[in-house]
Copies of this chain bind each other. A is one copy, B any other.
Amino acid sequence: MNMLTKEFTIGAEIKSLVRDLFPICRSLTGNGVRETLRIISETLPLNLVEIPSGTKVFDWEIPNEWNIEDAYIKNSKGVRIVDFKKNNLHVVGYSTPIDKRMPLAELEKNLHSIAEQPDAIPYVTSYYNKNWGFCLTHNDREKLQEDDYHVVIKSTLEPGSLTYAETFIPGESDQEILLSSYVCHPSMANNELSGPSVLAYIGKWLLEKKRRYSYRIILIPETIGSITYISKNFEQLKKNTIAGFNLSCIGDERHYSNIETRYGETLSDRVVKNLFKYDFKNNTTYSFLERGSDERQFCSPGVDLPIVGLCRSKYNTYPEYHTSLDNLDLVTAAGLSGGYQLVKESITSIEKNYTYKVNNLCEPQLGKRGLYPNISQKGHYGTVNAMMNFLAYADGTNDLISISDRIGVPMHELFPIVQKMYDNGLISTIETC
């Protein structure tokens, strides 16, 4: 199987997982999350953790568990004009139960639509304020006439638990790389089935490879989930985490993006910016001021984990975001494959990132090792430039990312060169981090 075929295959496999997960109604808590994690665990074994409602996590508290069976608005003729069974975005997330008749004017107070995107059902939640509501396309909303509407939401909002999953994949070192994505969004494909689906396959790949570092993969509800996870694992995370990535909206074909840590200078920042310099060229680096996903918590003052956000088109920047248009057309096998490659290359670059030091003073004689053209003539120097420039900065103060940045040669081009130098006894490594 050649590289291109393999890349296509992995994209198609991830897309298939996205497709399987798409119909499930997820929220911060509830059975939709559990079903989602169960399906993912068929690809990547996961440990499910349940945190009871009411548990304090830093400044927050685990909310009641929300489950929903059915929801609709019937007109006076008994026709379901808005139906949760057709699209779970129709119900505001965490809606309290209701069974009531009301005129249009009263109903309107609890309806949500987007005038500028009249064909899109918006995604709306009300996690921390008891409320109910329905979302619909603006076109459908405009058709509503005065009538006696029957509004039904068969939901429960009761003490239960918040569910998340984690898996720990040990490596040679105790030092860890944290990989995170979230499972709290209902039927939207990029935000957010792309993240957990790509992560499942990254986990599968990690399990099969030799690992220098250990990996901690978590699938959590956004915000409350990361706060909960950090709260429960703070010391461990602070002690061992040397890098990490939060995956979100990583399945469309348009673009590559990263969201920097607070000061943009961690190992994770550096490796992604290096990859963006040479590869994944259609990209944007967003500062922490543009954050919006769980990097908000991972990078908050005092937590300060070196976690960078990775996206294809960043959340909140593409028109389909948080609407029913974020669907299985937007997220493609090619798009998911690109997202997967970005994560994989970031990890590979960190795994192969060492600080090197030359073993000799002055340039080594490459010729006697067969590493240099033996005839010297004008114009013949280009071929060994990368090798010589790598050695010039292998002074024990620069890691490979720095050298790559400085000498203008991508990491993946340096890997075989470095290996050759190492095998020839020309350089030694100093463990980074």
Contacts and interface: CB of A to CB of B under 8 A. Distances in A.
B124 A376 contact: yes
Contacts of A129: 367, 374-375
Contacts of A299: 392
A362 B395 contact: no
Given A362-B230, A363-B227, A374 B128 contact: yes
Given A375-B126, A376-B127, A303 B262 contact: no
Contact of A363 (B300, B316, B363, B375): B300
A356 to B, nearest CB: 10
A273 interface: no
Contacts of A322: 377-378
A392 B124 contact: no
Contact of A124 (B292, B364, B375): B375
Interface residues of A, number: 65
B395 A361 contact: no
Interface in A31-86: 58-60
A274 interface: no
B301 A365 contact: no
B300 A368 contact: no
Interface of A: 58-60, 92, 112, 114, 122-129, 131, 223, 226-227, 230-231, 234, 262, 288-289, 291-292, 296-297, 299-304, 316, 321-323, 357-358, 360-365, 367-368, 374-378, 381, 388-389, 391-396, 406-408
17 contacts: A59-B360, A59-B364, A59-B365, A112-B377, A114-B378, A123-B377, A125-B375, A128-B365, A128-B374, A131-B374, A288-B392, A289-B406, A297-B363, A300-B363, A300-B392, A304-B395, A322-B377
